[in-house]
Amino acid sequence: MSLPAGQLRSVAVLTGAGISAESGVPTFRGEDGLWRNYRAEDLATPQAFRRDPELVWQWYDWRRGLIGRCRPNAAHRALVEMESYFEDFVLVTQNVDGLHHLAGSRAVVELHGNIWSLCCTRGCRPDWLDRTFPLPVLPPHCPDCGALARPGVVWFGEALPQAALEASLAAARCCQLMLVVGTSALVHPAASLPVVALQSGARVVEVNPQPTPLSGAVDQVFREQAAVALPRWWRDTLAQGNR
Ligand code: OAD
Per-10-residue mean pLDDT of the chain, 243 residues long, equals 74 98 88 80 94 96 95 98 95 98 97 97 97 96 98 96 97 98 95 98 98 98 98 90 56
DSSP character at residue 220: E
Q: Note the pLDDT of residue 1.
A: 47
Contact at 8 Å (CB) between 197 and 12? yes
Q: Note the pLDDT of residue 4.
A: 67
Residues 6+ apart with CB under 8 A from 148: 53, 121, 139, 141, 142
Contact at 8 Å (CB) between 101 and 113? no
Closest CA to 138 of 55, 73, 212: 55
Radius of gyration of the chain (CA): 18
Q: Note the pLDDT of residue 101.
A: 97
Residues 6+ apart with CB under 8 A from 164: 109, 110, 111
Residue to mutate, 14, 20, 29, 222, ligand 1, most ligand atoms under 8 Å from C-beta = 29
Return the sign of the alpha-carbon dihedral for residues 59, 51, 187, 165.
Answer: negative
Pocket of ligand 1 (CB under 6 A): 16-18, 21-22, 27-30, 33, 40, 44, 94, 112, 154, 156, 182-184, 186-187, 207-210, 212, 225-226
pTM for this entry: 0.94
∠ CA(228), CA(229), CA(230), 5° rounding?
Answer: 100
∠ CA(39), CA(42), CA(48), 5° rounding?
Answer: 145
CA 142 to chain centre: 26
